[in-house]
């Protein structure tokens, strides 16, 4: 067990070293929320109907959703590192090393969580520019929530990587998984006055609970943080165990 | 050291290995020769514990593959045809992470890495990223990595493919010097005759079965052939370096295309 945890640590460490040597994902992590928050957010703030909430403007309203979005993009796409490792032989290299399969999955989830969490924190850092004031406790709770959500979405990326075998295939995840999950989370609009079918989809989307959790902490809006946390914990466990199962399967290997 | 008994394996109903048996003794350099699609890579994937055979038994370093895959993994070093180095990491980092995954104590790992990088002539490139290395340098680094955890058995799967004659010769010089210092058993697959000639024994594979197995000299003598190329042609009806794609290769290519779609 201890040895497996050490193996996970080294897998995580390697991924983090590799990450620091890539500029594009970092640039993307900074540019993406700027576009959403300051371009879309400003447009909504000045050119759209008033929010049915007192004391909160559109920019502030979508802020928790944009943090969650940055975490979601980065976390799910961290699965691409597994596909990359598979394409370029490193996964084969560690698969034949004397380390348990679960340590590979755990290492990947940990590295993805740290990277996705940091990208969420990058967005959080702009809260003073939006006129939001946060106390120390709120900040600490938000940081915890961000890394907690990062672990859940990274587990999804790892699960997808268990089955998607090419980088091209993983690219499609952005369109078919990340975007629908984001748009069906209520990150950009309140749930009042929307059609029932959309409301049902949002309620069944685990990511909605991540957005809600951040909204409750950052904006003090009504919500159920206990339900949010329980949903995310249950979801993370199911996804992590499913990923473990898929990776542990001894499949036929095609060179 | 290696005992393969009546091993069979098929992909989607197409037999890749048929009742294959052979053994390799400790300290021996054993070559597997065969054209594309003969089953060499399938066999290597079984020996490195990536693939479970449909039937038959494999014992490596005294451990049965079916139940002791983890122990086998600790005791083998592998160099695959395609490089599995991480090009974004430095030469040192590649070796360091390998050492950690094989549970070499960090201090000892550092000493071994320094010594091995010097052995393969890459001491001055230790902190350079692998992406800046030539094909020959990458292969030398892979050799260093494959023996870093001091395996008893080294498996080389077409390890010198794509290298020029000079680079291949240098690599075999490293391996030869390594065998002098260290009791290493080697199993290699190759297309190159000069590599087959240095093996203590060779097995010729065709259509997933061993059709001949002995020392190169004895095989040539038994079959009345002057060279290994002639011997191979005599036994299989094909040239050893024939690049024509075999049926199994075509099947694998079709599967890859289907997966991409």
Amino acid B242: pLDDT: 56
CB atoms within 10 A of CB B63: 17
For A101, which residue in chain B has the nearest alpha carbon?
A: B70
ipTM of the complex: 0.83
Are A249 and A103 spatial neighbours (Cβ–Cβ below 8 Å)?
no
Q: Is the pLDDT of residue A204 over 80?
A: yes
Amino acid B190: pLDDT: 84
Q: Is the pLDDT of residue A50 over 70?
A: no
Amino acid A218: pLDDT: 94
Q: For residue range A105-132, list pLDDT tens digits in order.
A: 999 999 999 999 999 999 999 999 988 9
> What tokens were used for B128?
């350079």
> What tokens were used for A198?
């959309």
The CA R_g of chain B, rounded to the nearest whole Å, is: 19
Q: Residue ranges of the domains in chain A?
A: 2-44+54-248
Are B31 and B202 spatial neighbours (Cβ–Cβ below 8 Å)?
yes
Cα–Cα distance for residue pair B174/B143, rounded to 1 Å: 9
Cα–Cα distance for residue pair B148/B116, rounded to 1 Å: 8
Q: Is the pLDDT of residue A250 over 70?
A: no
Question: Which residues contact residue B130 at a Cβ distance below 8 angstroms, ignoring those fewer than 6 apart?
Answer: B85, B86, B87, B88, B89, B90, B91, B94, B138, B141
Question: For the sheet containing B63-64, what is the strand order?
Answer: B14-24, B2-11, B55-60, B63-64
pLDDT in tens, chain B (261 residues): 899 999 999 988 888 899 999 999 999 999 998 887 788 888 999 999 988 899 999 999 899 998 888 899 999 999 988 888 999 999 999 999 999 999 999 999 999 999 999 988 899 999 999 999 998 899 889 989 999 999 999 999 888 877 778 777 877 887 888 778 777 899 999 878 888 888 999 999 888 899 999 999 999 899 888 888 888 888 887 776 654 445 555 555 555 544 444
Amino acid A253: pLDDT: 39
For B12, which residue in chain A has the nearest alpha carbon?
A: A252
Are A108 and A10 spatial neighbours (Cβ–Cβ below 8 Å)?
no
Which one of B75, B89, B101 makes the best mutation probe of the A interface by having the most chain A beta carbons within 10 Å?
B101
Amino acid B232: pLDDT: 84
Q: For residue range A141-192, list pLDDT tens digits in order.
A: 999 999 999 999 999 999 999 888 888 888 888 778 899 999 999 888 888 8
Q: Is A88 on the interface with B (CB under 8 A)?
A: yes
Q: Is the pLDDT of residue A252 over 50?
A: no
Q: What is the dihedral of CA A173, A179, A184, A189, to 10 degrees?
A: 160
Q: Is A25 on the interface with B (CB under 8 A)?
A: no
Residue A21 has its nearest CB partner, among B11, B88, B103, at B88
Amino acid A57: pLDDT: 83
Which one of A22, A84, A97, A169 makes the best mutation probe of the B interface by having the most chain B beta carbons within 10 Å?
A97
Amino acid B241: pLDDT: 62
In angstroms, what CA-CA distances link A207 with A114, A146, A193, A201, B165? Answer: 18, 12, 20, 11, 57
Amino acid B21: pLDDT: 93
Q: For residue range A74-110, list pLDDT tens digits in order.
A: 999 888 889 888 888 888 889 899 998 889 999 999 9
Cα atoms in the Cβ-side hemisphere of radius 13 Å centred on B57 = 7
Mean pLDDT over each residue of chain A, to the nearest integer: 87
Amino acid B255: pLDDT: 52
CB contact under 8 A, A10 and B83: no
Residue B78 has its nearest CB partner, among A17, A22, A96, at A96
Amino acid A47: pLDDT: 64
Are B45 and B51 spatial neighbours (Cβ–Cβ below 8 Å)?
yes
CA terminus-to-terminus distance, chain A: 31
Which among A141, A143, A140, A109 has a CA at the least distance from the CA of A123?
A: A143
Walk me through the domains of chain B, giving residue ranges and CATH numbers. Answer: 2-86+150-260 (3.40.50.300)
CB contact under 8 A, A98 and B101: yes
Question: Which residues contact residue B251 at a Cβ distance below 8 angstroms, ignoring those fewer than 6 apart?
Answer: B11, B12, B14
CA distance B192 to chain A (A): 21
């Amino acid at each position: 067990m201890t040895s497996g945890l050490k193996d996970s640590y080294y897998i995580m460490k390697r991924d983090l070293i590799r990450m620091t040597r890539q500029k594009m994902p970092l640039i993307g992590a900074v540019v993406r929320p700027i576009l959403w928050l300051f371009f879309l957010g400003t447009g909504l703030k000045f050119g759209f109907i008033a929010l049915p909430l007192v004391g909160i403007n559109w920019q502030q309203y979508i802020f928790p959703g944009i943090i969650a979005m940055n975490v979601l993009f980065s976390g799910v796409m961290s699965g691409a590192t597994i596909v990359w490792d598979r394409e370029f032989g490193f996964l084969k290299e560690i698969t034949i090393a004397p380390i348990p399969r679960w340590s590979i999955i755990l290492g990947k989830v940990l590295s993805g969580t740290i990277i996705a969490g940091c990208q969420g924190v990058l967005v959080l850092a702009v809260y003073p520019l939006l006129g939001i004031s946060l106390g120390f406790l709120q900040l600490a709770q938000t940081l915890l929530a961000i890394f907690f959500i990062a672990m859940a979405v990274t587990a999804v990326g790892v699960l997808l990587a268990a089955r998607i075998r090419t980088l091209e295939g993983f690219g499609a995840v952005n369109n078919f998984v990340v975007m629908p999950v984001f748009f069906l989370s209520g990150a950009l609009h309140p749930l009042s006055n929307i059609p029932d079918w959309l409301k049902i989809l949002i309620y069944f989307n685990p990511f909605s609970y991540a957005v809600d959790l951040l909204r409750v902490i950052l904006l003090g809006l009504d919500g159920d943080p206990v339900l949010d946390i329980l949903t995310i914990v249950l979801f993370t466990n199911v996804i992590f165990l499913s990923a473990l199962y898929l990776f542990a399967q001894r499949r036929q290997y095609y060179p | 050291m290696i005992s393969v008994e009546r091993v069979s394996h098929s992909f989607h109903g197409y037999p890749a290995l048929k009742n294959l048996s052979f053994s390799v003794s400790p300290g021996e350099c054993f070559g597997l020769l065969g054209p594309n699609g003969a089953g060499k890579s399938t066999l290597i994937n079984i020996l490195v514990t990536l693939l479970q055979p449909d039937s038959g038994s494999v014992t490596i370093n005294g451990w049965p593959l079916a139940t002791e895959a983890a122990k086998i993994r600790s005791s083998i070093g592998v160099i695959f045809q395609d490089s599995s180095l991480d090009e974004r990491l430095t030469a040192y980092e590649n070796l360091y992470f390998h050492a950690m995954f094989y549970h070499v104590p960090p201090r000892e790992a550092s000493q071994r890495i320094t010594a091995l990088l010097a052995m393969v002539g890459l001491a001055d490139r230790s902190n350079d990223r692998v992406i800046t290395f030539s094909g020959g340098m990458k292969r030398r680094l892979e050799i260093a990595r494959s023996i870093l955890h001091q395996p008893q058995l080294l498996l080389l799967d077409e390890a010198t493919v794509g290298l020029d004659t000079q680079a291949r010769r240098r690599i075999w010089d490293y391996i030869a010097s390594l065998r002098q210092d260290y009791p290493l058993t080697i199993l290699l697959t190759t297309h190159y005759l000069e590599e087959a000639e240095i093996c203590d024994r060779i097995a010729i594979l065709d259509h997933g079965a061993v059709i001949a197995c002995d020392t190169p000299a004895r095989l040539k003598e038994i079959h009345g052939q002057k060279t290994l190329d002639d011997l191979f042609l005599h036994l299989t009806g094909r040239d050893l370096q024939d690049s024509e794609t075999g049926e199994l290769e075509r099947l694998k290519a079709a599967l890859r295309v289907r997966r991409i779609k």
